[in-house]
Amino acid sequence: MQISKPPMPKYLKQDELTQECKDLLSSLPTESGWVASTFYKYQGFWHPCRHLQGILSCQKHFKAQHSDVILATTPKSGTTWLKAILFALMNRDQYFSKSKNINNHPLKSNNPHVLVPFLEIKLYLDDENPDLSLLKSPRLFSTHMPYVSLPNSVHDSQCKLVYLCRNPKDTLISLWCFTNKLRLEEMGTSSLEEVFEKFCKGVSMYGPFWDHVLGYWGESLKNPEKVLFLKYEDMKEKPTFHLKKLAEFLECPFSFKEEKEKVVEGILELCSFDKLSNLKVNKDGKLPSGEDCSAFFRKGEVGDWKNYLTTEMVERLDKICKDKFDGSGLQF
Ligand code: PAP
């Protein structure tokens, strides 16, 4: 018996594009994609056409507010995890204290992607110009957009950017597994060799990976009060330290009372891979865009690439990364 796959998410479909987007597409360099048939290179990065539609609408219409928090990530770097952590952190007054019942927490019944929507692949894809002005402040959004493609209002406002990336080998394996789940039955699966070649050429969703990372890295050095740069591996190694750092960056540090009441530990426990991945909503639910919630929880480990990549692949990718990150002060 064949297991039926979920329908392709809306953001990967090729139809329903505005004339502006169609005109732009015809002028852009192309490559074959990982799931949708074609990637287009816009402002130096590769996107399926529907992502591009969302990026254009967001660039045109999004008005950042000073109090906004935007989580920016490379795909498959732990976005789902950090969405959960940020949501729990920023809403902790409502749910974390002795008198309150953690079982009512929205993360128990909603996937983090529902609570923290993507700008360009949810809000500005569903609606060219959604009205976000009535959302409660501080608003929390997320994006995979590279730094160069962020809407001007993000630069002009005092909003905060939290950036998360992950070592490129685990990112590649996670992306390969995820995109194979998104491919339609008749497309079959992509081989690791095939996607490895593309990744090395920089051709991946929101790639080149290194340019995405370096864009935010450079800004975090220039403007550390605006951009906080985090790595998945560091979060895994020292979650308490990084959660406290995140709270300080967002100007909502944990009080002595909260520390005593173990709010930091409570948030980390609630957002842990084991807890989130075993919730009914994340085991059986689907996102409005069509993906199974379970697709966002695979292993959640550091170093899973060792189970997949050959020695030659490792050497080649390490060499590319060494060259690309040389002199930046950044290492993976
Ligand atoms: P996205 O970019 O499509 O939103 P994203 O959440 O960034 O996906 O990446 C999913 C990865 O984060 C998966 O990694 P893996 O394929 O190597 O397993 C997923 O397992 C991992 N992940 C999801 N939730 C957590 C969590 N709570 N703690 C740690 N890792 C997690």
Confidence at 1, pLDDT banded by 50, 70, 90? very low
C-alpha to C-alpha distances, 8 to 54, 94, 139, nearest whole angstrom: 17, 36, 29
Residue 4 has pLDDT above 60, yes or no: no
- Ligand 1 centroid–CA 267 distance in Å is 17
User: What integer pLDDT is reported at residue 98 of this predicted model?
Assistant: 66
In the prediction, which pLDDT does 186 show? 77
For ligand 1, say whether the CB of 9 is within 6 Å of any of its atoms: no
The SS3 call for residue 286 is strand
Is the beta carbon of 81 within 6 A of some atom in ligand 1? Answer: yes
Q: How far is the CA of 27 from the centre of ligand 1 (A)?
A: 34
Residues with Cβ within 8 Å of 101's Cβ and at least 6 positions away in sequence, in order, are none
Contact status, residue 79 vs residue 241, Cβ threshold 8 Å: no
Q: What pLDDT was estimated at residue 296?
A: 97
Beta-bridge partners for 227: 161
Q: Atom 22 of ligand 1 has which residue's CA nearest to it?
A: 300
Query: For the segment 207-228, what is each residue's pLDDT rounded down to a tens digit?
Result: 999 999 999 999 999 999 999 9
CA distances from 313 to 54, 207, 245 (A): 34, 18, 35
Q: How far is CA 214 from the centre of its chain?
A: 16
298 lines ligand 1 (CB under 6 A): yes
Distance CA 246, CA 299 (A): 24
Pocket-testing residue among 296, 305, 306, ligand 1, by greatest number of atoms within 8 A of Cβ: 296
Protein residue whose Cα sits closest to atom 26 of ligand 1: 273
Among 68-77, 90-99, 106-115, the least confident range:
90-99
Average model confidence (pLDDT) for the chain? Answer: 93
For position 66, what pLDDT does the model report?
A: 96
The C-alpha atoms of residue 132 and residue 15 are separated, in whole angstroms, by 25
Distance in Å, CA 24 to ligand 1 centroid: 32
HEC sequence for 3-69:
CCCCCCCHHHCCCCCCHHHHHHHCCCCEEECCCCCEEEEECCEEECHHHHHHHHHHHHHCCCCCCCE
- Evaluate if pTM is beyond 0.85: yes
Instruction: State yes or no: is 144 an active-site residue.
Output: yes
- State if residue 249 touches ligand 1 by the CB under 6 angstroms criterion: no
The pLDDT tens digits of the residues spanning 277-304 come to 999 999 999 999 889 999 999 999 999 9
Distance 299 CA to ligand 1 centre (A): 8
Q: How far is it, in rounded angstroms, from Cα 81 to Cα 104?
A: 19
Mean pLDDT confidence for 20-46:
93
pLDDT of residue 14: 63
| More confident of the two residues 35 and 113 | 113
Catalytic residue among 105, 113, 144, 212: 144
Question: Rounded to the nearest 5°, which phi and psi values hold at 66?
Answer: -55, -35
Is any ligand 1 atom within 6 A of the Cβ of residue 53? no
Q: Where do the domains of the chain lie, and which CATH numbers do they carry?
A: 23-325 (3.40.50.300)
Q: Calculate helix-pair angle for 79-90, 239-249, nearest 10 degrees.
A: 60
Over residues 162-216, the pLDDT tens digits come to 999 999 999 999 999 999 988 777 778 899 999 999 999 999 999 999 999 999 9
DSSP state letter for 158: -
How many CA atoms are closer than 13 Å to the CA of 23, on its beta-carbon side?
Answer: 4
Residue 13 has pLDDT above 70, yes or no: no
